[in-house]
A and B are shown apart, each in its own frame.
Chain A
Amino acid sequence: MSILSRTIALAAGAVIAATSLAVPVEAQEGAGQQLYPLFTYRTGPYAPSFIPFGAGNLDYLRYVNEVEGGVNGVKILIQECETAYTIERGIECYERYKGGFNGALTAAIYPHSSGLDVALTDKARLDRIPIVSPGGGQNIATDGRVFPYQFPLIFDYWSEAQIIIDYIAEQVGGHDKLKGVKIATLYHDSGYGRDTIEPLAILSKKYGFEDIQIPVPHPGEQQQAQWQQIRRAGADWVFLRGWGVMTPVAIKTAARVGFPADRIIGDIWSGSEDDARPAGAAAKGYLAVSVFPPGTDYGILRKLKENILDTGKSDLKDNSKFGTVYYNYGVIEAITFVEALRTGQKKFGNKPLNNEEGQWAFENLDIDEQRIAELGAEGLISPLKTTIDNHKGETIAAKIIQWNGETWDTRTDWIKADTSLFADVIKAKAAAYAVEKGIEPRQAASN
């Protein structure tokens, strides 16, 4: 959008903002519709990742509404609420929309922030609102018996660690060859970053590789010291658990100390175009884990291009973002929402779902290969089946992608994590949590 029109917008916006305080709000009629409260963070340090994500999210829902006429006829009413990635404003948005909006029902809420996901845990349990965080949920919430309303769908960092190790094993010629291999984890010094310390310790005990953990303080704009440590330790591989600006700086600094980019494997939050591109030439060959594969060569994206992008209905301002990691992430997340609605409607009839029905729906998701094919999402998502014991999904898989200097190339097919490996540890943590909170775990029978 050109600067001129922005200026006009600014003027017009100012005028309207001034007047609209006086005039009453025109209430949108929402009865008979399904509410989708879209928690946005279009401002602040993480806005760059949200913009394409939100677009993918919106575009798919618009596609469902306008091309498919809603979910079995039920239209989705989208209400945006800006959290600026802060918990306070996130809570305000949650309180604003947990009870629906002008008659449109709330079936679930996607907080779009791990911090907010945690913050809402207790509230959501009291309010009985499903909190869905594909790719960014709390791992212990996998145990749906303790966390009936949390849905950390699709992915978790423990499985990620495992997938990374499997990939490296494959590169060095088998898990038995891992002995003595030096794998450094450069992590963002936060709860998110520290989450992989424990699983990697377990894995290194199992396979005998050398596990080196190096923290980077937020925001991570200065990493010379850390990379010198890595070079000095003679690491063979680096698992980069970056966040925001930390990733491009890491890649650049790696180049400065002469560490090869194709031996660095980024976390899912270090694997977007905006993470690699700012690093320029240094990023060529950089690897990353991808749960939300980039690219436009999927049936569903072709449909979106034809019906939304080319008809000017897309939320994208910059069409080059179409098919990027975050755009596709947005699409995938929207798919989980719509599929959950379908699942629920099978049981409760073709009408908007309320929060309890939503809870049942998300607990009984089953997006199998066949359904994926129908969606035209082969290769975009892997099967997703939830149960009361497993709110994450039974198959956890990711691909490895590589930056060619311009875009991402897919290096591998889905690498499946062996979820049994950590299942007990997670269950134990969940049980401990239940005790601390005085929660009586549900039994599978109760559902």
Chain B
Amino acid sequence: MAYFLETLIAGLFAGLMYGLVAIGFVLIYKASGVFNFAQGAMVFLAALVFVTLVEHGANFWVAFALTSGLMVLTAVAVEALVLRPLRNRDPLTLFMATLGLSFVIDGAAQFFLGTDVHMLDLGIDDIAEDYGGLFISWFDIVASLIVVALVAVLGIVFSRTRMGVSLRAVADDTLAAQSIGIRLPVIWRIVWSVAGVVALVAGLLWGARQGVQFSLSLVTLKALPVLIIGGFSSIPGAIVGGLIVGASEALADIYLGPLVDGSVSTWFAYILAVAFLLVRPAGLFGDRDIERV
């Protein structure tokens, strides 16, 4: 039982980390209807820039500020060079464009900053403490707190501020939003910037785990089933979806894995997600509209 609990908890922690990556997708999908495959590359870029700055002696906050600044610049560039020329094109084209974008971003990142594997130490020690038979690492707790805090902040921003309101307007009905004078390009720049900062946070937490290297951009794939389950357009959905994926994946590996003598977590989340879709075609928190003719 303790073993089950421990696995479950570990899974939930992992799930939060997935959710963190998924949030980046959700933000952008909400605002620009783009499924941004380059999110992974952005995570990698942010982490790499940050770690390089730190290695050149910048202190944490300076590095964080500078990197965030870079992510904002990236957002502006993306809006101008990719989104605007492609507006009103079908979603698949936009998706492919972001795929191309991911080549550009991680290619550029490694062109300028090299391909070395960097160690990233956030000074949070990652040794598990024994809490009544349950080994839980401080790092997990801190990481989860950060994720929760981030979600809270985003929640407040989107519900209280003017920007947030107009963002939700855009998400609900783009045309209507434009007609009341909300300027899409501005919204897009802002949202992509926020997504960039979220990518930075994700990059730091993941990077501290596995070192800052190209594979960081692969976390994208972990976020996809999370999105299907949580719904592409819901931040709470991303978190809940993340928890579900993380937990079920961990449990599946331990209890289902042995039956097929292999690890199932590469596909389990996806099959789970598909099963979910058959029950709830728009994910847990996704919103769907009825067809008008």
Residue numbers of A with Cβ under 8 A of B are 3, 6-7, 10, 42-45, 47-48, 51, 189, 215-219, 221-222, 224-226, 228-229, 232, 244-245, 248-249, 252, 255-258, 274, 277-282, 317-318
Contact = CB atoms under 8 A, between A and B. Distances in A.
Nearest to A218: B266
Q: Which 3 A-B pairs have the closest CB atoms?
A: A278-B211, A224-B10, A47-B115
Contact of A42 (B11, B115, B139, B218): B115
A274 B116 contact: yes
B117 A278 contact: yes
B74 interface: no
A274 B116 CA distance: 8
Given A215-B263, A228-B6, A278-B117, A258 B128 contact: yes
A219 B214 contact: no
B287 interface: no
Contacts of B172: none
Contact of A228 (B10, B13, B119, B257): B10
A51 B222 CA distance: 28
Interface in B80-118: 107, 110-118
B76 interface: no
Nearest to A250: B210
Contacts of A222: 14, 222, 249, 265
A219 B213 CA distance: 12
A245 B213 contact: yes
B218 A48 contact: no
Contacts of A47: 110, 115, 214
B254 A256 contact: no
Contacts of A248: 117, 210-211
A278 B210 contact: yes
Nearest to A274: B117
Contacts of A317: 114
A189 B7 CA distance: 20
B210 A249 contact: yes
Interface string B191-232: 000000000000000100111111100110010000000000
A280 B121 contact: yes
Given A224-B10, A248-B210, A249-B210, 19 more contacts: A3-B112, A7-B112, A215-B257, A217-B266, A221-B222, A224-B7, A224-B14, A224-B250, A225-B7, A225-B10, A226-B253, A226-B263, A252-B209, A256-B139, A257-B128, A258-B128, A274-B213, A277-B117, A278-B212
B213 A48 contact: yes
B262 interface: yes
A252 B124 CA distance: 13
Given A215-B262, A216-B263, A255-B127, A221 B117 contact: no
B60 interface: no
Given A226-B253, A232-B3, A221 B210 contact: yes
Contacts of A274: 116-117, 211, 213
Nearest to B140: A256
A360 B135 CA distance: 58
B254 A244 contact: no
B117 A258 contact: no
B219 A221 contact: yes
Contacts of B3: 228, 232
A182 to B, nearest CB: 17
A225 B254 contact: yes
Contacts of B10: 224-225, 228
Mostly, the B contact residues are helix
14 contacts: A3-B112, A6-B111, A51-B115, A221-B209, A221-B215, A221-B218, A222-B249, A224-B11, A225-B250, A249-B210, A252-B210, A255-B127, A274-B116, A277-B211
A47 B107 CA distance: 12
Interface in B114-171: 114-121, 125-128, 135, 137, 139
A217 B265 contact: yes
A256 B137 contact: yes
A43 B257 CA distance: 33
Given A47-B214, A248-B211, A258 B263 contact: no
Contact of A43 (B110, B209, B250): B110
Contacts of A216: 263
Nearest to B130: A258
Contacts of B115: 42-43, 47-48, 51
Contacts of B218: 45, 219, 221
Contacts of A252: 126, 209-210
Contacts of B121: 280
A314 to B, nearest CB: 16
Nearest to A10: B111
B202 to A, nearest CB: 12
Q: Which of A232, A244, A256, A258 has the most CB of B within 10 A?
A: A256
Interface string B232-273: 000000000000000001100110010000110110000000
A280 B123 CA distance: 11
Nearest to B207: A278
A169 to B, nearest CB: 27
Nearest to B266: A217
Given A219-B218, A232-B3, A256-B126, A245 B253 contact: no
Interface in B4-31: 6-7, 10-11, 13-14
A181 B162 CA distance: 65
Contacts of B14: 222, 224
Contact of B128 (A43, A51, A256): A256
A225 B11 CA distance: 8
A249 B119 contact: no
Contacts of B114: 317-318
Contacts of A3: 112-113
Nearest to A51: B115
A205 B70 CA distance: 58
A6 B250 CA distance: 44
Contact of B126 (A42, A225, A282): A282
B157 to A, nearest CB: 29
Pick from A51, A217, A232, A277 the residue with the most CB of B within 10 Å: A217
Most A Cβ at <10 Å: residue of B113, B117, B212, B266: B117
